Amino acid sequence: MASTRSWLRSSIGVILIFTGFSTAATAQQPAEVLKPPGVGATNDRTVQLVGHVVCRDCTLDTVSKGEQQTGKLYELSSAQGTVVLRVESVKDNGRWQRIPANHRLTAQAAAPVLQQLTKEATAGKTLTITGLLNSDETLEVTDIQPLG
């Protein structure tokens, strides 16, 4: 009986010691390791566009014929249709400047987000579009907010 108690006491002591070591080791990890993916992490592909819709269900070619400054015009094509935007400002990490000169992007998103883009996309309406810009000229839209 005494040996069982001694063995049990020793086992509990060893468990407590190892638990303390593992907790101390976890506390010394860099903050990025402790965060779950997507929580507070920044992504160099993240862009936020502010611009107004020039037209819906049209192409960049048809719009640019009558425009003087075509440098700020971008065509977003999706399963819900095509929107031409005049981009006023961009918040990013320099990735936006790497878009090819043709200014055409494919927009991908969950169906409700694409529907919101189509619904909110009326001529002259200003939108804030947030998403991830991929190297294959695909913009994964995560949020659309109308302004004004």
Q: How far apart are CA 80 and CA 118, in angstroms?
A: 7
**Count of CB atoms situated within 10 Å of the CB of 73:** 17
Per-residue pLDDT tens digits for 101-140: 788 999 999 988 888 777 766 667 888 999 999 988 899 9
Please give the model's pTM, rounded to 2 decimal places.
0.65
Q: What percent of the chain has pLDDT over 90?
A: 20
Domains of the chain: which residue ranges?
2-34, 46-147
Q: How far apart are CA 79 and CA 138, in angstroms?
A: 13
Residue from 147, 141, 128, 126 nearest 79 by CA: 141
